[in-house]
Structure 1
Amino acid sequence: MPKYDLVGATGCATGIAHTFMAQEALEKAAKELGYSIKIETHGQTGIENDLSPEEIKEAKGVVIASDVDVDAERFAGKRVVIVPVAKGIKDPKGLIQKALNPATPIYKPGQVAKVSNNSQKSESFGTKLYTLLMNGISHMLPFVVAGGVLIAISFLWGIYSADPKNAQYNQLAFTLNKVGSTTMNLMVPVLAAYIAEALAKRSGLVVGFAAGMITFAGGGGFLGGIIAGYLAALVVFLLQKAFKVLPDKQFRGLKSIFLYPVLGVLIAGTIMFLLNGPIESINVSAMNWLKSVQNSDPIVLGLIVGAMCAFDFGGPVNKAAYVTGTALLAQGNFYFMAGVSAACIAPPLATGFAVLLNRKSYSKSERTAGYVNFLLGSTHITEGAIPFAAKHPLWNIPAFMIGSAIAAALSYVSKIKVPAPHGGFIILPLVNHPILWVVYIVIGAFISGVLLALIAKKFEGKDSESSMSVDIFGAGEDTEDIKEEITEVNQKEDDHDPSEILNINNIKSDLEFTSRDDALKYLADLSVKNQLATDSKKVYDRYLAREEEGSTGMTDGFAIPHAQSAAINESAMIILKLRKPIDWNSLDGKPIDTVISFLIPQVDSNEHLKYLSNTAKLLTHPDFIKKLKATNDPAAIKKLFTEYKA
């Protein structure tokens, strides 16, 4: 059985794209850093790529990037990093470095890793609450989609075709509508059940489902389902504590089958019954306010709904807007969902427009993803926009929000009706003004696309590493162009031998520095002295900027700093051997005595990543490391890099 340096798990609420994007991002980052990793995925099809106890035991660290429960207790005794799935897409290298850092606390069963300050503690607690919520949404969503699509199909015979008293009545439409409505009504109980299940397992599932049914019957809605789920989890958790005095060996069956479910349902159910009145009042007030805004100021409503839908792409804010739309659909309000759907469809379309408007600022994989997003967006699948949002979130997410808000506001101003909760452009026959609705969505998406293209132009060449290298379809198996690109890269990968860009004049030994920054300043000055660059300060600033993104200190006393700048004339490698080791915040916490630096021109086509990758692979060979450490002779070092192949 193979051994892995790291193991991990990814999961998201929808289980469609985020899960596998985070998996691929972590696997690529680990490969670039020279580590082996195995990621278990928790998607809509279930758990795949399962981790065995032996694989977990042998791993040096664990990365959990998930919005759903992945049974973290099995990683007890390991250094574990637990973050939302989006973090796994945005900062995979940082997570891997943290998981291998000796300063990362050991995870123990039933508790989040210990932290040293209050802000981290509140974040850990908040992450746990978020995970419980997203576990509920993950299991709820298929009921919403299945029920919503069946209801949408029933409307093909007319909006009132399920009403026996109306002239449009059709028996098949009535059946489809009844089945769809019943399925949709399971939304709140399932939400509550799986919020509770994430913390309290099977007993929580039972109590959560019962509490969810009670709040649904009492008009609690989505808010009631969330409260019921957390309440059920808390009640079962407290019951488990209270009955801990009863030995598991003799009373495990009694507790799990009788005591926990019976007492849990009684306590949580009674509390929810008492809370139904206040919760229903809150829901009614919120609905009435939204209706009043829809009638009095549809533009403001569009801004609110659009911003919510594009804020976290499938997270709780997005889902709050979506579920509100489905609830209003049940009341016969078809206007609200028009804005929600428009705001969800616009972001992926925007990425397609962005890559069309500014091809040069995007890599080939980014352009391919943008083109595919035209199809994804048309079917109401928003996840394809996530890699673009994650690249420069403080810039790109507001750009998405602007376009979504415009699309939603225009839909409300024109009083467009969308009677189905899902389907994208597939449900156009059900829309009262289908062409106008599509035009509004395209307008919003195009505006976001223009903004994204301008932002990409602003950051062009400033990213020292490719921030988006995730293919949301696993490997693009169905696209011939991507197949050819992968084949071409595989054929040329061995050509990027680090020795090709290593000159003997760029190898210096027996040096002494007081700090990391002192060494970086020497590298920048040497690059100008050896005519590899024209401006020492610009090169030095790029070195520092890269270190701020994450330390380039590796393991075994090596650091691999790199700088990309217009002041650099050509790709080059510089090697420094230090007389005394210096601190570099390395992965293993050890000081650095060997610096392998890369200089990268502004226009590079990511060639430096291949040189970096091959150098990192060389540093996984103990024999290579031993020989490199043993010599300070520039000629011998050059020969060593020439003879060894990654």
Structure 2
Amino acid sequence: MSSLITADLVDLDLSADTKEAAARSLAERMVALGRVTDLDGFLADVAAREAQMPTGLDGGIGIPHCRSAHVTEPTLAFGRSPAGIDFGAPDGPADLIFLIAAPAGADDAHLTILSSLARHLMDEAFTQALRTTTTAAEAAALIAGDTPAPERPAAPPAQEQPVESPGQEPPAEQSGEQSAEPPAESSVDGGPGETPGFGKGRGGGETPFRIVAVTSCPTGIAHTYMAAEALEHAARTAGVELAVETQGSAGFTRLDPAAVAAADGVIFAHDVPVRERERFAGKPTVDVGVKAGINRPAALIAEVRDKAARGEITHPATSPSTPTPTPTPVENAGDPHEGYATKLRKWLMSGVSYMVPFVAAGGLLIALGFALGGWDIDKAPSVAEHFAWGQVDGWAALMFQIGGLAFGFLVPVLAGYIAYGMADRPGLVPGFVGGAVALTIDAGFLGGLVAGLVAGGTVLAIQRVRIPAVLRGIMPVVVIPLLSSIVVGFLMFLVIGKPIASLQKALTDWLSGLSGANAVVLGVVLGLMMCFDLGGPVNKVAYAFAVGGLAHPNEGSLKVMAAVMAAGMVPPLAMALATAVRGRLFTRTERENGKAAWVLGASFISEGAIPFAAADPLRVIPAAMAGGAVTGALSMAFECTLRAPHGGVFVIPLIGNPLLYLLAIVVGTVVSAALVVLLKSTRRPVSEEAGGGGRTEAGAEVTVAA
């Protein structure tokens, strides 16, 4: 790890008093060494990661981290704060702060090294050594592993209890030694008394309680491995055998199926859906967030043992006689008791989330093609047949045609992943086929939505049919893709596709003819939707509606895209402005968040306003919606157009009537900021003490929505 941290990246007297200031101070050291190319861009990525989940951990540790395109090589900076900094940990401020910067394409080896640091942080001897070291060089050497870390005190032996196995030794793969005791018999192949992934049981026929666990977090750099280490340490203390599967950014190595089969219980400590969750069906299961795995691992182990003692099984196992469909990706990510309306929303969001990267890449390439080659670049011949290396028009045509191909996947990807959200991998083939048919018959975005739902429903219906056991092996590979593709293709070509295409054409013609009052009303509605939940489902519906129009752009659809992006920029910009002009109405943490909100808002990241909305929703959200409605209406009234689906102020050159467009954003921002200030002025100003603790007057902790 020596290349990741040097003495120049260590600050043993970090004077920052907020997490944003701490990240900036440490990031400046990275910039000075050339490891970060854009300070503000990198800090925006750190803030976006922090918005998903606070990075404070019990034990006085803060570990902000992110992947960023502004990082040239994996880098770790360390700061020690004498006063402590609030990173949102339950037990108070952090005095040890680690800023981890990983390039957008960091390789597996570097992520593995970073995961080893995360595991060290669960060792009290290691953190205590960092608190007492006197020089930056010593701290860097300790973190890098050049200086051996103090050994962790041995875990106390487990107490004699009827349920537990007394004096259980650590599993063989953890201790590095094989047990010398006589092996116990095992029903699992792999040697008498030995289970792959667990090792040998105790002698005398005794088998310890066995748990398999999965840990994961949104970034997969730190919390994933810290939760794994905490669970392993707690298991050794409790005399329990534990095998952990870390589903991090570097991919994951599946637990041995024999270990899963032999396990007495399962722990999921995750903030993203567990991959291949069906492997753990039929086991007593504890399902929590990844921070619970870090902060209370012993309690999770006790809970899963209690469930096993009661015979409580979360997901019944399937059997040949009574086949039960495994949970779909959407069901794995939510509450199994959710209603169909909630599931429908999640199915649609699943498709939109996979579609957005195609939209961003394809749309921006198309916009760049127009910017470099003019509005007639779409008439250029294929670059495969003719390409002028030394002419700008040639490169413009190249970008336009690549973007057009990427954009062509929009509808099939939308349909395919809606079906995937409903029926898992068997839904992909009919979903993509249905989306391709929707493109063929000009059913567009609406056709893709319907095709995805039809494909998922068709697969679910086929899976409910009882079939002979001899045919089950070919069902997911041959039978389901074949039958579902036939059904979906027939329905889309001959039954429902043509009416949807007619509706899509009518909608396109309506957008093309929008002018005057009608356009302004649509701008108001879109602005309200973009600001209602700040990146949530309603926001994404409005965004998807606008992006769908870019597949076959016309004057009306380009106006809609402009209004949607302008309105989405307003909430974070308004919160930034409000904290700048009336800072005493906000906590110290909110004022620091306001600084980052300038960048997030300018980049069209509506989620930059989430910390403010989470702390004071009744004042912030109505104010944001009012400003968004004003901006959407003005953008429509000014007849601004936009061919790029993302980019914020960075694509202003690609906008029709750019000065009026900026005016619309400024007016909406001022309206929202003024309303927030007015509404917050009706209550007692927040004290500095409250600001330091990150709490509002009512004492509600300022949290960040994931």
* TM-score, reference length from structure 2: 0.54
User: What is the CA distance between 1:79 and its match in structure 2?
Assistant: 6.1
Residue 483 of structure 2 is aligned to residue 425 of structure 1: no
* RMSD over aligned Cα atoms: 4.4
Identify the residue that residue 177 of structure 1 maps to in structure 2.
Answer: 400
Cα contact 1:41–1:49 (8 A) shared by 2: no
- The residue type paired with residue 207 of structure 1 is P
Q: Distance in 1 between matches of 2:264 and 2:89?
A: 18
Match of 2:662 among 407, 413, 438: 438
Cα contact 1:22–1:65 (8 A) shared by 2: no
Residue 629 of structure 2 is aligned to residue 405 of structure 1: yes
Match of 1:24 among 54, 76, 80: 54
The Cα offsets for residues 101-133 of structure 1, whole Å up to 9 and x where unpaired, read as 999x963155889xxxxxx98744333333322
Query: Which protein has the bigger helix share?
Result: 1
Q: How does 1:590-601 map to 2 (within 5 A)?
A: none
Residue 554 of structure 2 is aligned to residue 332 of structure 1: yes
Cα contact 2:604–2:648 (8 A) shared by 1: yes
How has the CA–CA distance of structure 1 residues 31 and 160 changed in structure 2, closer, same or farther, with 3 Å as cutoff? closer
User: What is the CA distance between 1:346 and its match in structure 2?
Assistant: 1.2
User: What is the CA distance between 1:258 and its match in structure 2?
Assistant: 0.8
- The residue type paired with residue 665 of structure 2 is I
Identify the residue that residue 315 of structure 2 maps to in structure 1.
Answer: 108
Identify the residue that residue 70 of structure 2 maps to in structure 1.
Answer: none
Q: How does 1:121-136 map to 2 (within 5 A)?
A: 123-136=338-351
3-state SS in 2 of match to 1:468:
coil
- The residue type paired with residue 108 of structure 1 is H
Identify the residue that residue 643 of structure 1 maps to in structure 2.
Answer: none
Q: Distance in 1 between matches of 2:226 and 2:511?
A: 45
Identify the residue that residue 254 of structure 1 maps to in structure 2.
Answer: 474
Q: Distance in 2 between matches of 1:464 and 1:296?
A: 43
Residue 505 of structure 2 is aligned to residue 287 of structure 1: no
The Cα offsets for residues 9-62 of structure 1, whole Å up to 9 and x where unpaired, read as xxxxxx99877634338978995289x9996234699x9669878459799976
Q: Distance in 2 between matches of 1:31 and 1:406?
A: 39
User: What is the CA distance between 1:431 and its match in structure 2?
Assistant: 2.1
Q: 131-140 or 309-318: which moved more?
A: 309-318
Identify the residue that residue 269 of structure 1 maps to in structure 2.
Answer: 489
Identify the residue that residue 154 of structure 1 maps to in structure 2.
Answer: 369
The Cα offsets for residues 445-498 of structure 1, whole Å up to 9 and x where unpaired, read as 1211222234444465564445324499xxxxxxxxxxxxxxxxxxxxxxxxxx
Q: Distance in 1 between matches of 2:639 and 2:544?
A: 20
User: What is the CA distance between 1:206 and its match in structure 2?
Assistant: 1.5
Q: Distance in 1 between matches of 2:284 and 2:88?
A: 18
User: What is the CA distance between 1:227 and its match in structure 2?
Assistant: 1.9
How has the CA–CA distance of structure 1 residues 64 and 229 changed in structure 2, closer, same or farther, with 3 Å as cutoff? farther
Match of 2:536 among 315, 330, 335: 315
The Cα offsets for residues 152-196 of structure 1, whole Å up to 9 and x where unpaired, read as 111223541414389x99332222111112211211111111122
Cα contact 2:641–2:655 (8 A) shared by 1: yes
The Cα offsets for residues 547-584 of structure 1, whole Å up to 9 and x where unpaired, read as xxxxxxxxxxxxxxxxxxxxxxxxxxxxxxxxxxxxxx
3-state SS in 2 of match to 1:306:
helix
Identify the residue that residue 371 of structure 1 maps to in structure 2.
Answer: 595
How has the CA–CA distance of structure 1 residues 42 and 121 changed in structure 2, closer, same or farther, with 3 Å as cutoff? closer
User: What is the CA distance between 1:347 and its match in structure 2?
Assistant: 1.5
User: What is the CA distance between 1:268 and its match in structure 2?
Assistant: 1.8
Identify the residue that residue 468 of structure 1 maps to in structure 2.
Answer: 702
Cα contact 1:365–1:469 (8 A) shared by 2: no
Cα contact 1:23–1:39 (8 A) shared by 2: no
Q: Distance in 1 between matches of 2:570 and 2:464?
A: 48
- The residue type paired with residue 54 of structure 2 is E
User: What is the CA distance between 1:361 and its match in structure 2?
Assistant: 3.0
Cα contact 1:79–1:100 (8 A) shared by 2: no
Identify the residue that residue 239 of structure 1 maps to in structure 2.
Answer: 462
Question: Mind listing any 5+ residue stretches in structure 1 that lack a counterpart?
Answer: 1-14, 114-119, 473-646
How has the CA–CA distance of structure 1 residues 50 and 275 changed in structure 2, closer, same or farther, with 3 Å as cutoff? farther
How has the CA–CA distance of structure 1 residues 33 and 55 changed in structure 2, closer, same or farther, with 3 Å as cutoff? farther
User: What is the CA distance between 1:320 and its match in structure 2?
Assistant: 2.9
Cα contact 2:359–2:407 (8 A) shared by 1: yes
Q: Distance in 2 between matches of 1:396 and 1:300?
A: 23
Q: Distance in 1 between matches of 2:243 and 2:336?
A: 31
Q: Distance in 1 between matches of 2:357 and 2:266?
A: 36
Q: Distance in 2 between matches of 1:272 and 1:397?
A: 40
Q: Distance in 2 between matches of 1:292 and 1:44?
A: 48
* TM-score, reference length from structure 1: 0.58
Question: Mind listing any 5+ residue stretches in structure 2 that lack a counterpart?
Answer: 1-44, 59-86, 93-121, 123-212, 229-241, 246-262, 317-324, 329-334, 382-390, 687-695
Q: Distance in 2 between matches of 1:49 and 1:284?
A: 51
- The residue type paired with residue 321 of structure 1 is A
How has the CA–CA distance of structure 1 residues 325 and 206 changed in structure 2, closer, same or farther, with 3 Å as cutoff? same
- How many residues are treated as equivalent by the alignment? 437
- The residue type paired with residue 343 of structure 1 is A
3-state SS in 2 of match to 1:245:
coil
How has the CA–CA distance of structure 1 residues 108 and 471 changed in structure 2, closer, same or farther, with 3 Å as cutoff? closer
How has the CA–CA distance of structure 1 residues 322 and 469 changed in structure 2, closer, same or farther, with 3 Å as cutoff? closer
User: What is the CA distance between 1:148 and its match in structure 2?
Assistant: 0.9
Q: Distance in 2 between matches of 1:471 and 1:312?
A: 11
Q: 194-203 or 140-149: which moved more?
A: 194-203
How has the CA–CA distance of structure 1 residues 228 and 18 changed in structure 2, closer, same or farther, with 3 Å as cutoff? farther
Cα contact 2:615–2:703 (8 A) shared by 1: no
Cα contact 1:161–1:174 (8 A) shared by 2: no
How has the CA–CA distance of structure 1 residues 455 and 376 changed in structure 2, closer, same or farther, with 3 Å as cutoff? same
Identify the residue that residue 217 of structure 2 maps to in structure 1.
Answer: 41
Residue 407 of structure 2 is aligned to residue 187 of structure 1: no
Identify the residue that residue 167 of structure 2 maps to in structure 1.
Answer: none
Q: Distance in 2 between matches of 1:282 and 1:388?
A: 40
The Cα offsets for residues 373-423 of structure 1, whole Å up to 9 and x where unpaired, read as 111221222221222222233432222111111111111111122222221
Q: Distance in 1 between matches of 2:616 and 2:529?
A: 19
User: What is the CA distance between 1:140 and its match in structure 2?
Assistant: 0.8
How has the CA–CA distance of structure 1 residues 17 and 295 changed in structure 2, closer, same or farther, with 3 Å as cutoff? farther
3-state SS in 2 of match to 1:107:
coil
3-state SS in 1 of match to 2:216:
strand
Q: Distance in 1 between matches of 2:647 and 2:663?
A: 17
3-state SS in 1 of match to 2:346:
helix
Cα contact 1:347–1:385 (8 A) shared by 2: yes
- The residue type paired with residue 315 of structure 2 is K
